[in-house]
Amino acid sequence: MKIVDNQITHKELKEMAAASFGNMIKAVVDLKKGIMAVDAPLHADEEALLLEHGSKNEDLWGINLYPDLTGPDLIEYDSMINLRPAQNNQTRGVEDPAIRQNIAALVNKLVIG
């Protein structure tokens, strides 16, 4: 498991994916801190890591990254940690388009090459 607070390459993500799920890697983004955790079997593990490092639950969103793909296909907004009725998110997806846009912007900033 790793916290990405600067940048990570597509190549690094591909290597992590190959060692776990094949073509996909789980990630949790912290929209307030501008960081993400990657490379764990469960989003909940990454969420716990970020919480241990001072993140707040309401700022965390679970996603899946497909490093073989680019553009909008890179990100899948699906995780059990996204079920947040208190934040008006009733599904495993990220229902608010503005939050999805912020997640995409952060991923595009952190994932290079």
pLDDT, tens digit, 9 for 90 and up, residues 60-87:
999 999 999 988 999 999 999 999 999 9
Q: What angle do CA 12, 73, 9 make, to 5 degrees?
A: 15
Please name every residue paired with 65 in a beta bridge, in sequence order, or none if there are none: 25, 75
Q: What angle do CA 109, 36, 64 make, to 5 degrees?
A: 90
The pTM assigned to this predicted structure is: 0.96
Does residue 113 surpass a pLDDT of 90? no
CB 108 within 8 A of CB 8: no
How does the average pLDDT of the chain come out, rounded?
A: 96
